[in-house]
Structure 1
Amino acid sequence: MTWIIKPFLLLATILYITLGVYINMYVFDPVDGWAFFAALLLPLCGFIMAYVLGIIFRQKTSFCQSLALETSSLNCLIVLAAIRFTLQKPAADLASTIPIWTMFTIPGLYVVLSILNYIKCSLCSFCKSRKEEKFRHFSIASGIVNQANMAALSAPLFVTEVTDDEQASMSEKITVL
């Protein structure tokens, strides 16, 4: 039965999208830079305000992030509903272009935030690996302790991980058996 419904569902989706775009063509008129900046500023302010309030009320970081994302995405819907219910029909249509553009800019904000998070995580892991390499201590340990008729014994090099908070320089221990 679903093989019959899927083509009709696709046709209805295409019809609603094309009809909705055709009816609301005024939204796609050229928008100046300040209007686009204002449309981007609304979800950004919601994101920052919700994240800061989450930190002030001592919430977990993951909760602060989800709170900020939800607040930023719902800002444009609140403004759009307020404009539609307060203004008359032609003025409401013209005034709702900025909230509609805000809905278009929200995914761009999420992409920018995820790219910044990826860069931050990459830099943190790079700094952590550099710090670990800086504090490695090298020592020579023998795998075979007693061999007959040998004065000196060559031993493989083992790297041991030692974290010294007081010692900031690299030290080597060389043992000759």
Structure 2
Amino acid sequence: MAGVHVIGLLLLGGTAAWTVDIAHDITVHMNQVISVPFSVYNNNNNNNNNISNPHMWYFNTDQHITKLSSQFTKLNKTSFSGIFNITGIFLGRTTLTFTMKGMGIKEDQEVAVITVIREEHTIDSVFTASVAILVSILYINFGCAIDWNVCRNTLRRPIGPAIGFFCQFLIMPLLSFFIGYLLFPDHPELQIGMFFTGISPSGGASNMWTLLLDGNLNLSITMTTICTIGAFGMMPFWVFTLGRYIFAQGKITVPYQHIGTFVIGLIIPLAIGFIIQKKFPRVSKILVRVMKPFSVILIIFIIIFAIMTNLYIFKLFTWKIIIAGMGLPWLGFTFGFIIAYICKQSQADIRAIAIETGIQNTGVAIFLLRFTLKPPADDLTTVVPVSAAMMTPVPLAILFIIKLIYKYKQKKTAKETLQSAPSLEKLQQTTNVSTH
């Protein structure tokens, strides 16, 4: 709880009739109770309202976030004092409102802000550090894996990469902004989580899914490379432009310094990987071999560890969170497909562009949120990229299963056709019989 007390004035009849003395910023952990002293004074001696009447005043707060009870230590006609017992129910911020009724007037005054956060444990620090280390290793591996010859060859026909860049850094940020605004109009923290997921670069898993679904792998690798490098400029651009609106709505300070540190922190491992590729090609080849399975392991690790360390997250998994987790990647697949189709790309290129657009690097989003935001915003926002990570593979897995079934039926049909067709030996025997 903040130790600085401020004065809240309640106006009745145009004058400062009542003074509420209480700590303005109050912080409590979930499932814990703290005691906060308060006092209310009648500043107008001519005011005939009897403050000892309990029907004349009451305190109110969001019952989903905090539970409030009070004990009075002093109560008379002109003032009363007491202690609030505030219980943290769930993460979030709420205002403590004092309401006074008298002389036919009802006045509300927000006298304090109550913030409910999680108590920090060692495992939380381990999780954040683990994500940071794994993302850094992934970027080192990616620096080793960048094949500039493939990129140069692909960029000779720059339409595909240009479409991918357009979808990744224009369509996806705007989609995430509007989805967050529509689904969470009163929850700016969730809007931030949605937006940060949308402005993240494409994920390494996009290359794997492109390969599995017979897309243009070279184009996918090129787009991943371009988007990864472009993200160092585009992510801060979106945060400092459109993102400022969400931060202002939630009364959250834009973490300029932390975001700058985050961007630099990703450039360094990428540069290390590129140096390894040039100076130690054998080591680079080994790292490239493990990059694809490592990307999958990273995604699985982040999801499982995030759930294990933050079981509270399931309380936030409302139908809106699930829709948001589905909406962003699935609409990304759709828009990427439509735009690539309109631009008359090949089927393999359409698949690569659609997959690259829809798959976001949720590990980067989670790391960015936890690194840049303060409690409880860092915890509240994490649920969105976790939901997106869980929902993203669903349509791709369905398409892959359909592909396997289709190929199996094709092979079965071809085999039956061969078995039903007369063999060359039988044809010769038939020919010999007919000639005799």
* Residue aligning to 1:163: none
Match of 2:327 among 41, 50, 62: 41
- Offset at residue 43 of structure 1 (A): 1.0
- Aligned residue identity for 1:94: L
Classify 1:45/1:114 alpha carbon distance in 2 versus 1 (closer, same or farther; 3 Å).
same
1:55-74 equivalences under 5 Å are: 55-74=341-360
Alignment of 1:89-104 (within 5 A): 90-91=376-377, 93-104=379-390
* Secondary structure of 1:59 counterpart: coil
**Structure 1 unaligned spans of 5+:** 1-11, 143-155, 159-173
Deviates more, 1:60-69 or 1:26-35: 26-35
| Mapped contact 2:336–2:357 kept (Cα < 8 A) | yes
Determine the C-alpha separation between the residues in 2 that align with 1:55 and 1:133: 40
Structure 1 SS opposite 2:360: helix
Conserved 8 A contact 2:316-2:383: no
1:31 pairs, out of 297, 304, 317, with 317
CA separation in 1, counterparts of 2:348 and 2:382? 33
How much does 1:72 deviate? 0.9
1:52 has 2:352 as partner: no
Q: Deviations over 1:118-171 (max 9, x none)?
A: 22333455566678889x6899755xxxxxxxxxxxxx148xxxxxxxxxxxxx
Which has a greater percent of strand? 2
Alpha-carbon offset, residue 71 of structure 1: 1.0
Structure-1-length-normalised TM-score: 0.51
Q: Does 1:175 align with 2:399?
A: no
Change (3 A) 1:55 1:23: same
Residue 114 of structure 1 deviates from its aligned partner by 0.8
Letter in 1 for 2:325: A
Read off the aligned partner of 1:106 and give its amino acid letter.
Answer: T
Distance 1:83 1:157, change over 3 A: farther
Map 1:82-93 to 2 at 5 A: 90-91=376-377, 93=379
- 1:65 Cα deviation (Å)? 1.1
Q: Which residue number corresponds to residue 397 of structure 2? A: 111
Q: Distance in 2 between matches of 1:19 and 1:129?
A: 47
Moved more, 58-67 or 123-132: 123-132
1:120 to 377, 389, 406: 406
Q: What displacement does 1:79 show?
A: 7.7
Report the CA distance shift for 1:104/1:81 in structure 2 as closer, same or farther (over 3 A).
same
Match of 2:353, SS state, is: helix
Cα distance, 1:37 vs. partner?
3.2
Rounded to whole Å, the distance in 1 between the matches of 2:389 and 2:416 is 42
Q: Higher mean Cα deviation, 106-115 or 85-94? A: 85-94
Q: Structure 2-normalised TM-score?
A: 0.24
Shift of 1:92: 5.4
Q: CA RMSD in A?
A: 4.5
Shift of 1:36: 1.6
Q: Is the 8 A contact 1:54 1:64 kept in 2?
A: yes
Q: CA deviation at 1:59?
A: 1.4
Identity of aligned residues (%): 20
Instruction: Report SS of the residue matched to 2:392.
Output: helix
SS state at 1:58 partner: coil
Contact 1:51–1:65 at 8 Å: present in 2 too? Answer: yes
- Is the alpha carbon distance of 1:91 and 1:54 closer, same or farther for their aligned partners in structure 2, counting shifts above 3 Å? same
1 CA distance for matches of 2:308 and 2:427? 78
Tell me the number of residue pairs that the alignment of Structure 1 and Structure 2 aligns: 136
Alpha-carbon displacement from aligned partner over 1:28-54 (angstroms, at most 9, x marks no partner) = 436234422331222111112112221
